Amino acid sequence: MNIEPKPGIPPSAGHLTDLLVKLKEQPADAITRNAYQDPKAVEWLSDRTKIPGVMLPYTVGGTPEAKDLFSLFDDTIARLLKAKKPA
């Protein structure tokens, strides 16, 4: 599921309501965003659902740790596992 179903077009109140209802019925493990995306929307959803938000590198160079194809996958997996682990 996407917070912003049409890239570049801000989501409607109706879509966000659907999203919250679905996440209540079937909670997701994490809300992910790519390094180049604005954190605001993920923070909003994470705040309401208590589901952790995770920033993923998306490509090599997206985070300082993602230096090549191997470390890109290592870092992506590490970040997802960190989110899943209860704090």
Partner 1 sequence: MSAIGWSVLLPALVAGLLVAATHVPLGKQVLVRGIVFIDIAIAQIAGVGVLLADFLGWEAEGIAVQISALAAALLGALLLTWTERKWPDVQEAIIGVVFILAATAEILLLAGNPQGGEHLKDMLVGQILWVGTRQIVFTAILTAVVLVVWFGWQLKIGRIGFYLLFGLSVTASVQLVGVYLVFATLIIPALATRHARTLRLVKAYAVAGLGYAVGLFLSAWLDLPSGAVVVWALAVAGTVCFALEGGAVRSQAPSLR
Total number of residues that touch partner 1 (CB under 8 A): 24
For residue 50, state whether it binds partner 1 (rule: CB under 8 A): no
Q: Classify the phi-psi angles of 49: left when phi > 0, otherwise alpha if psi is within -120 to 50, otherwise beta.
A: alpha
Note whether 4 and 38 are within 8 A (CB): no
Pairing of strands 53-56, 31-34: parallel
Toward partner 1, which CB reaches closer, 33 or 79? 33
Q: Which of 31, 32, 41, 83 binds partner 1 (CB under 8 A)?
A: 41
Structure tokens at 56: 């993923």
- Check binding of 12 to partner 1 (CB under 8 A): yes
Q: Closer to partner 1 by CB, 22 or 84: give it.
A: 22
| Token reading at 34 | 């790519």
Point out which residues bind partner 1 (CB under 8 A).
8-17, 20-21, 24, 35-41, 43-44, 47-48
